[in-house]
Structure 1
């Protein structure tokens, strides 16, 4: 018999159902938030969320202001639709899928013949809503890809100190976020040198920040790719989700879904990326080409940990393959990787 969900999950589920009834009575409508997925010649990974939103009653000026001057907390104002279903529509194929308790869709469906490149997959909800989910189909002959962290790797957020994280996530306007110098240029150069290669962003951030992160990447020239966030709410068995376990699971899934790709793993030394990447390179050496670690400044380390430098782990894995390079920005990392990642090596 399945174990009963913990009280936090039961309370959250109850509140979601009550909220759905209340919002429905006030005229809120079903809405599909489509996230960027990936796939291969055999299957596609579709990512989305079904939520309740107010009807479109904002004027043009108000809507423009909401988009251009949006504070972080607005990204979290969504209500999950309970027991939601939708259809994945690809040409004449219609595939029914069920959202999880948080309204999230994370499913793999058969690829009916989409060729390598970018495609838009149509999602249709039972409530009449629809959306287009971008999916990158990766060719079977592609052997290189990039996995990138987000916080303090491409965007400076000064995580994980709680007060600073809350200020950056909930208070600052989007235009106040700063990009890490040189990272967009590094990724553009690497993907130009490896046509058709994917970039996948793996982060412990919340799915609610997805629209903001997408706009940030567009403004700063970060190449588009699948984004794998997590839900910050309780699970069926625990009060809080483990960020390290989330990243570890994402790396395993990428190795399984795209077995022919050897990844460049890019992160920073502010949290667990060096240890996690070294562990993965030791356990899956055929799936890791190299590791690139962005070095935080002493000030950033102090804000993140209360110490002016990274504290090395005595238990850190030491992989025999997958060399590691470190630098404070993208240009420094690029200078060290020119020969390491040259095509044909």
Structure 2
């Protein structure tokens, strides 16, 4: 007997194939969409997607076309191009890759590149080409940042039930609010550690990548790979697990960069505290600090439909601790985080209540 979720996968793939055939006859063309990749001096992870996309409608006035392009729902005017060849050019080498059932390219390839930022070329069979940015991280790098996105660096005063649809289909990035001070905090951390990476690990979907890129550029967030996920059924579940996605993505980063000690930044609204604690226990000595943005009571209610309660201290299973910091925003958190990391600081731009710097009960347990 076939498992239920597998039926969902077959139905989704069938619909994608049929619609794709119709759209190709109507002139839609394959178009590669780049995501930021990363890697070491010997191996790189290439991320992107191949989609079917309509030609630009040149009959629209320029201002109307720009408005439509920036609306989130336009991101969905594209269909995955599954199991299709794409060409990846790395220096003088050309590799033939193949997209998965949802049109994604997520492959690790051998390549010798110097540390720093590079641009690779990804091409569809029809010649449509894009550049894929890749950050190559030096072998001796010992510092890195893992950051959540929603409720950590971006906030929207909407109930969680409507948040994904609203942000995906209607919002402009100018209407989303950046959490104060978070971009400054990230910039300061990376300025203290040149060449160190930042990874944005989120349960958000890849369809929001254009919006996120514009938003983060607008608000000064450092460039880094965004490890997002996808909606829809898998062979084992009707819907993908966001928690499992974040757990797996962070575990892969730990394997790929065994020398890096991480600063892990999230919020206290959902699963970040538990996931970061689990990571610290599974990778002893690899977490320098856990930084949690504390949601306000209103944000807790809107985001999670719950009234915030006083959290019970974590039960420590081991005597040693990972420093755990909590505060309302980046300006609130920075002084204590800088102190934990041994960074000299200037007077903060504005005085706020000090974050709770907890080393006793309630800190994250670490073997």
Q: TM-score, normalised by structure 1?
A: 0.92
C-alpha separation in 2, matches of 1:66 and 1:317: 52
For residues 283-302 of structure 1, the aligned pairs below 5 Å read 283-302=282-301
C-alpha separation in 2, matches of 1:5 and 1:239: 5
SS of the equivalent of 2:308 reads: coil
Unaligned 5+ residue runs, structure 1? none
Change in Cα spacing, 1:328 to 1:318, as seen in structure 2 (3 Å) is farther
Q: Cα distance, 1:6 vs. partner? A: 1.1
Match for residue 65 of structure 1 among 54, 64, 67: 67
2:143 corresponds in structure 1 to 144
Change in Cα spacing, 1:131 to 1:318, as seen in structure 2 (3 Å) is farther
For residues 167-206 of structure 1, the aligned pairs below 5 Å read 167-206=166-205
Aligned Cα RMSD in Å?
2.2
8 Å Cα contact 1:282-1:317 kept in structure 2: no
SS of the equivalent of 1:340 reads: helix
Q: Cα distance, 1:318 vs. partner? A: 5.9
Change in Cα spacing, 1:304 to 1:5, as seen in structure 2 (3 Å) is closer
8 Å Cα contact 2:8-2:238 kept in structure 1: yes
C-alpha separation in 2, matches of 1:46 and 1:343: 34
Q: Cα distance, 1:259 vs. partner? A: 1.1
1:121 corresponds in structure 2 to 120
C-alpha separation in 2, matches of 1:274 and 1:310: 15
8 Å Cα contact 1:285-1:322 kept in structure 2: no
C-alpha separation in 2, matches of 1:6 and 1:158: 36
Change in Cα spacing, 1:110 to 1:310, as seen in structure 2 (3 Å) is farther
Change in Cα spacing, 1:34 to 1:311, as seen in structure 2 (3 Å) is farther
Could you report, residue by residue, the CA deviation over 1:160-217 in whole angstroms, capped at 9, with x for unpaired residues?
Answer: 7213443343333332111000000000000001111100000000000001000000
Q: Cα distance, 1:130 vs. partner? A: 1.2
Change in Cα spacing, 1:279 to 1:116, as seen in structure 2 (3 Å) is same
Change in Cα spacing, 1:105 to 1:310, as seen in structure 2 (3 Å) is farther
8 Å Cα contact 2:159-2:305 kept in structure 1: no
Could you report, residue by residue, the CA deviation over 1:87-132 in whole angstroms, capped at 9, with x for unpaired residues?
Answer: 2111121122111100001110012x21010000111222222111
8 Å Cα contact 2:42-2:113 kept in structure 1: no
1:50 corresponds in structure 2 to 50
Higher Rg of the two aligned structures: 2
Q: Cα distance, 1:312 vs. partner? A: 3.9
SS of the equivalent of 2:140 reads: coil
1:243 corresponds in structure 2 to 242
8 Å Cα contact 1:152-1:158 kept in structure 2: no
Q: TM-score, normalised by structure 2?
A: 0.87
Does 1:101 find its partner at 2:76? no
Change in Cα spacing, 1:248 to 1:13, as seen in structure 2 (3 Å) is same
SS of the equivalent of 1:82 reads: coil
1:135 corresponds in structure 2 to 134
Unaligned 5+ residue runs, structure 2? 345-367
Could you report, residue by residue, the CA deviation over 1:118-153 in whole angstroms, capped at 9, with x for unpaired residues?
Answer: 000111222222111000000111100000000010
C-alpha separation in 2, matches of 1:314 and 1:336: 20
Change in Cα spacing, 1:4 to 1:284, as seen in structure 2 (3 Å) is same
8 Å Cα contact 1:275-1:317 kept in structure 2: no
2:360 corresponds in structure 1 to none
Does 1:77 find its partner at 2:77? yes
Q: Which deviates more, 257-266 or 58-67?
A: 58-67
SS of the equivalent of 2:174 reads: helix
2:32 corresponds in structure 1 to 32
8 Å Cα contact 1:275-1:316 kept in structure 2: no
Change in Cα spacing, 1:61 to 1:166, as seen in structure 2 (3 Å) is closer
